[in-house]
Amino acid sequence: MTDLFEPLTLRGVTLRNRIGVSPMCQYSCAPDGRPTEWHLAHLHSRAIGGAGLVIVEATGVSPEARITPQDVGLWEDAQLPAHTELAAAITRAGSVPGIQIAHAGRKASAAAPWIGGMAKEHGWEPVAPSAIAFPGMAMPRAMNEADIQKVIADFTATAKRAIAAGYRFIEVHAAHGYLLHQFLSPLSNQRNDAWGGDFAGRTRLTREVVSAVRAAIPGDVPLAIRFSHTDWTEGGWTTEETVELARQVKALGVDLVDVSSGALVPAQIPIGPGYQVPGAAAVRAGAEIPVAAVGMITEPEQAQQILAEGKADLILLARALLRDPYWPLHAAAALGRTEALRIPPQYDRAWSALGKMALNPAIAEPAPEL
């Protein structure tokens, strides 16, 4: 039975437990796309809180790949120093630093969600496989061959920079209605060339991005990909197609599939605790590949049960960790596994009362200067 606090090894990288920080956009950069003090505090605190993997939010592979002008980017070397500092801080806290690299496609050039609508400053024309707008957003320009080749090159270059910055886990974003997902689904991809049409055509860009990124990063660094396993809409991308594509990208060097769902088009989604876990279980069984489960996983016992039942290999948390950066420590206490996590000595006086915990002296090193 897989334990929530059991290490997980993917290629040459070992996570100290099966808890990860899901990539969560903060919309908190200047238009230069460089991570800020906010990102350092936000992600470093969750590494200190005990997560085995900390994944930096969807990071634009080009300026036009961002969701908003306030997104993190890694499209140029000038952004490297801030990313290097961020990856080092996560590493010093005992977590594996990861990054999700992404292109928003037709969902680009939006304003931050607490503002709503399209960006009024620093905006741009979005691109997509077909000139079909997401409801309420700008009409995108249909991509030509040069645009598509540029996307592949941008993902490749960003992956190389991510390795140079010190990230040890790379995730390609092909979910949530962003560009690669837009190519996958017939609801958004109505091309009749080699990049659309049948399953092979619609999945071609994702496969070529995966192949290029895998070739660009070291062999000991794991490569993950996030899929929306269903569009929750008739005529859209399906779980069965996700399983088949997961088999194909596994053969291309993907080590883990991060299984989410939806967000390509507005849809009625049966949201509830663990509502996306069946999709993760289907991909794990059908493609015989490690998977991460996400979506309304909030309780330690719930996370442990998902692993114990063989439905996932890794639990990625989002809102639960926004509410409580120390969720892993609280989970260890709730499950009677306080010996499994290493606590910073600065915090020992608070946590030692819950039971014996091994200290992590490495975290006692001086924090990096901002």
Structure token pair of residue 344? 């910073």
Contacts of 119 (CB under 8 A, 6+ apart): 68, 69, 109, 110, 111
- Helix residue ranges, H only, the chain: 37-48, 80-92, 145-165, 179-184, 199-216, 239-251, 277-287, 300-308, 319-323, 327-334, 348-351
Out of 27, 167, 178, 326, which one is annotated catalytic? 178
How big is the CA angle at 115 (ends 110 and 116), to the nearest 5 degrees? Answer: 50
Would you call 178 a catalytic residue per the annotation? yes
In contact, 52 and 22? CB cutoff 8 Å: no
Q: Output DSSP code: residue 260.
A: E
CA distance 107 to 198: 23
Residue 39 backbone dihedrals phi, psi, to 5 degrees: -65, -40
CA 36, 38, 41, 46 torsion-angle sign: negative
CA distance 186 to 351: 51
In contact, 251 and 214? CB cutoff 8 Å: no
Active site residues: 178
